[in-house]
Amino acid sequence: MNVVSMTGFGRARGRLSERLAVAVVVRSVNHRYLDTQVRTNLRDEVPEIESVVRAVVEKSFERGRVTVQVAVEHGQGSGPQVSLDAAQIARVVEQLAAIPLPEGVAAKVTIGEVLAVPGLVTVTMPETLLDPSETERLRAVTAEAVAAALAMRRTEGEQIARQVAAELGEVRSFVDWFEPQIAEHRRALMERATERITALLGSVVDQARIAQEGAVLADRADVAEEIVRLRAHLDSFDARVRGGGAVGRTLDFLCQEIHRELNTLGSKCRELGVADRLVDAKSAAERVREQVQNLE
């Protein structure tokens, strides 16, 4: 199972029956939770259509803002029915003709102006209530659009996984480079601390005590634990990506932990050569977090 992006698009089209056809478009973007919005081209709300579409979507997606546009199309002869009240139209025309006008004034009344009078034209919308077979077809067309969106999400998820692996490789390279230097780094810290204490106090304090205090300071600045935790977080991150599925939140948390360990390491170790490479590792970790936030 691969990791999946939250960005996707899919569409499908099909007939529900002789009287109805439908086009379904599914779009998804990243979101903290699953937020499904169903829209139709119908003037009235049709809850049975929304419930069918929502059920298909929520069975297939775990996170993301998913917008589904459902366009219902009526077949020939099943569209809106228009009826005219001919008798009433004739009466309106007669009444308009009977209106006295000043001499020399000619009145021209168009059919459009007559039909604009309320009650002369009635538009009856066709029945959109779905029967069981139409409902099943709507479910199938929606599932086809959802499958196309999922395929796109998987493709993008694979691309993100490859990019994340490359960026984490930079963090791991830093750890591999720095870990063999921990003992030498600790020894250098102890020597510098001892030299500073000696410079400040001279011979007033026992040299053994100075060396002891220097060792304590060096121990506090030791980064061996941070390196161990960094490796554990990196290994856990790799395992989660290999496992696939909806791991976006977990990976985001691991990114925070990796960044925290790098920050702690940076505050303890300020050697010039280390600091330069640490900045690169932190930048790579930040890029990983930006990418992970688009994973389901």
| SS3 state at 249 | helix
Question: Would you say residue 243 lies in a domain?
Answer: yes
pTM: 0.70
The verdict on 149 and 221 lying in the same domain is no
Counting the structural domains of the chain, the total is 3
Using CA atoms, how far residue 186 sits from 9, 49, 180, 193, 212, in Å, is: 54, 68, 11, 11, 14
pLDDT (0 to 100) of residue 144:
97
Tell whether 17 and 142 lie within a shared domain: yes
Domain that holds residue 168: 154-292
What was the pLDDT predicted at 213? 56
Whether residues 283 and 264 fall in one domain: yes
Same domain, yes or no: 95 and 183: no
CATH code assigned at 43 = 3.30.230.10
Same domain, 159 and 149: no
pLDDT of residue 107: 64
- Rounded to whole angstroms, the Cα distance separating 256 from 126 reads 56
**Are 119 and 247 part of one and the same domain?**
no
Q: CATH number for the domain including 283? A: 1.20.140
Are residues 146 and 267 located together in one domain of the fold? no
Do 172 and 286 have their domain in common? yes
161 lies in the same domain as 231: yes
Same domain (yes/no): 20, 69: yes
Kindly state whether residues 43 and 140 are assigned to the same domain: yes
pLDDT for the residue numbered 87: 76
- Domain assignment present for 262: yes
pLDDT value at residue 267: 78
Q: For residue 193, what pLDDT is reported?
A: 66
Helix axes 132-178, 47-60, angle to 10 degrees: 30
Model pLDDT, residue 153 = 95
What is the pLDDT at residue 90? 76
Note whether residue 256 is domain-resident. yes
Which residues touch 247 (CB under 8 Å, ≥6 apart)?
A: 3, 240, 241, 295
Q: Is residue 252 within 8 Å of residue 294, measured between CB atoms? A: no
pLDDT for position 211: 58
Kindly state the DSSP code that residue 5 receives in the 8-state scheme: B
Q: Pick out the chain residues at pLDDT < 50.
A: none
Spatial CA neighbour of 229 closest among 257, 271, 268: 257
